[in-house]
A and B are shown apart, each in its own frame.
Chain A
């Protein structure tokens, strides 16, 4: 049973526009969320994270929004650039329990010229 769900396998966005990647989770005990970015033939790299005590965290062009009541988070990339084409993994953990990080299946983002 998937605890972290990324229901869109792929997403295409025009360069310069906003990319919005969505993630849903089922475990209400999750209290820390992370996004990883993966290029082909490379391992995932950490992008941005958010604690459940916040509803927004921003780092340059990347912003993560958390809606705890809906068990939903989203990653916004503004403006989208060609180098943003990659697979994005949403991940979640329950701090202080087993500290295990649970990943979603990923969303492949294509930035169109």
Chain B
């Protein structure tokens, strides 16, 4: 089955210690997104890639970076995690850019910062 896979499902990191979350897709979709969802909050878009074109949201902290080395993989790097960065991180893909194109989500990575 075509899927969006996030690894790991749970990640524990120490305050200030860099961490990388990964996402892969077999859907061959052009667009990959990273969302942050804190408890009982709406998923918040951090950035997205349209093919190799990187699009950062204006309010995404500089602490968050992303890489997309090829169509299938996308990484979220948190350079110096703070306690406030503990959240569920959701990767999503879509065939094309456009609000009417449904997103396909992975199961998320829950990040804990100690």
Residues on A lying within 8 angstroms of B by beta carbon are 2, 4, 9, 32, 34, 36, 41-46, 49, 51, 89, 92-95, 99-106
Interface 0/1 of B89-103, CB less than 8 Å to A: 010100001111011
B57 partner residues in chain A, CB cutoff 8 A: 100
Tally of chain B residues near chain A (CB < 8 A): 22
Prevailing SS type, chain B contact patch: loop
The 3 closest A-B pairs by CB, nearest first: A93-B99, A43-B105, A46-B102
> Assuming A43-B90, A43-B92, what are 17 further A-B pairs, CB within 8 angstroms?
A42-B107, A43-B6, A43-B106, A44-B90, A44-B103, A44-B105, A45-B105, A46-B102, A89-B42, A93-B100, A100-B99, A101-B103, A103-B42, A103-B43, A103-B44, A106-B40, A106-B42
